[in-house]
Amino acid sequence: MSLGSVPLKYKISIDRDQCMKCMRCVDNCSYGVYRIEDDKILIDSRKCTACHRCISMCPRDAINLQEKPVDYRSHPLWTAEAREDVINQARSGKIILAGMGNARDYPVIFDRLVLDACQVTNPSIDPLREPMELRTYIGKKPAKLEFTKNNGDIDLTTKLAPNLKLDTPIMIGHMSYGAISLNAQLSLAKAVAKTGTFMGTGEGGMHEAIYPYQDHTIVQIASGRFGVDIDYLERGAAIEIKVGQGAKPGIGGHLPGEKVCADVSCTRMIPLGSDAISPAPHHDIYSIEDLAQLVRSLKEATNWEKPVFVKIAAVHNVAAIAAGIARSDADAVVVDGFKGGTGAAPKVFRDNVGIPIEAAIAAVDEKLNDQGIRNEVSLIASGGIRNSADITKSIALGADAVYIGTASLIALGCRVCGNCYRGLCPWGIATQKPELVNRIDPEIGAEHVANLIKAWTLEISELMGAAGLNSIESLRGNRERLRGYMLDQGLLDVLKIESVGA
């Protein structure tokens, strides 16, 4: 017996009085919502993903989108989502895939943290009149410095490890060529070069179009080792070993063969049209000692000239794992929270596995401080960072810098419809179809992303100035500048902050 159809998620309608039949909606919708028959635009709302491409391109604002025009009978346990998942899996017998970050209605801890500001007895600083220092150095720091006297001069004898110098504590996280288009990746590369920061290549090698910006890229090695050779390692300003990802801790990755075009195939060094499947573990890492050996191998291969980062997903024992990484030769620990984005992940993982980045930052910072090694390694936070306030709070909790991902894609046009894994992104971001990829002009895209980074950097300066701080170093781990609002005592204890009013 047929399971029948499920209620529409979205209903598209056109104001026929406003519509001028310019056909932009038909031309721009890559999901086939619109078609022409007998000089009339017909609509198939079931194909709509709420990507908003048609709405944004309509010159007359004639298109309207209604969410859940017909819903299921309300029920506190059997939500519409729960029922649809059962129906879909009863039909397919497959794992449900989803894109972007965790879509569950968990409380956002960032929204329940408030920042401090100076009043009367402790003066604030005006960033328009006084210099503010936001430069950030990412890499290994020596436990102590040693000097020698030389004919009246003092020379530093401690050998310093190579560090990345950032003009802002904002970097762009790893999104591979294949998962996103070349024009999207090129836009991000141009933007980080403009703003004095860095971006990650993701696990997909480095396309030659990115070579001019390689001094602003961090190359990634994941369990699939796609696109990895000595040339790739030497091109990056730093190397990152990806052990885990916040959106799907404990499992590997999967790039569908449909997205592996000729260019992606060459860059990743895999056959054309084949699925790129990354295994869950690295098959040479089963302990912290194995990981330390890989870190040293990468440093040896690059003559100890490149910082090596290790990225892990935020899970329950993240602090202990981070401490082990910090005691290896790794230069930075990257922690990715469970609201981090992804091109494709099993929905059950995306929505149920891992812990929030706020708790993970605080736990890792506390553990490293307890062991007396916090100053020797950098901590980079990622996963669900939406604005400058989230960044400022992350640094106050203990991070040195952050990766942003989804926000940078929104600056390129993404509307977070969550269908990245289908390869039909109408904004030209998560697709390899040439006609869609060409919708992004890398020059304009770079300008938008650079504007976002500059705007957030200015806002961080303002927030620091209001708190009486003129250096990002003074903000780092300064939890006295944070208070919890409507958080229970257990979470306040984890975050090591006090409640508002205290």
Q: Which residues does the annotation place in the binding site for [4Fe-4S] cluster? A: 19, 22, 25, 29, 48, 51, 54, 58
d(CA 180, CA 409): 10
Q: How far is CA 72 from CA 8, 44, 68, 78, 288, in A?
A: 10, 20, 9, 10, 49
Mapped onto helix, strand or coil, the DSSP state of residue 448 is: helix
Joined together, the tokens standing for residue 121 give 């007895």
The rounded distance, in Å, linking the Cα atoms of 289 and 329 is: 11
- Compute the distance between CA of residue 96 and CA of residue 352 in angstroms, rounded to an integer: 13
- Of 287, 395, 396, 374, the C-alpha closest to 323 is 374
Annotated binding site: 19, 22, 25, 29, 48, 51, 54, 58
Q: Which residues contact 212 (CB under 8 A, 6 or more apart)?
A: none
Question: Helices marked H in 239-383 — which ranges?
Answer: 262-268, 288-301, 318-326, 347-352, 357-370
d(CA 264, CA 208): 11
> Whole-angstrom Cα distance, residue 479 to residue 399?
11
Contact between 441 and 449 under an 8 Å Cβ cutoff? The reply is: no
How far are the Cα atoms of 25, 113, 483 from residue 495, in angstroms, in the given order?
Answer: 48, 10, 10
On whether the CB atoms of residues 201 and 221 are closer than 8 A, the answer is no
Q: Is 61 within 8 Å of 366 (Cβ atoms)? A: no
Helices (H), 68-127: 80-92
CA–CA separation, 214 and 453 (whole Å): 19
Is residue 347 within 8 Å of residue 482, measured between CB atoms? Answer: no
| 475 contact partners, CB below 8 Å, separation of at least 6 | 392, 395, 396, 464, 467, 469, 481
Rounded Cα distance between 52 and 64, Å, is 10
CB atoms within 10 A of CB 251: 18
Q: In the structure encoding, which two tokens stand for residue 85, read together?
A: 């998942």
Beta bridge partners of 10: 67
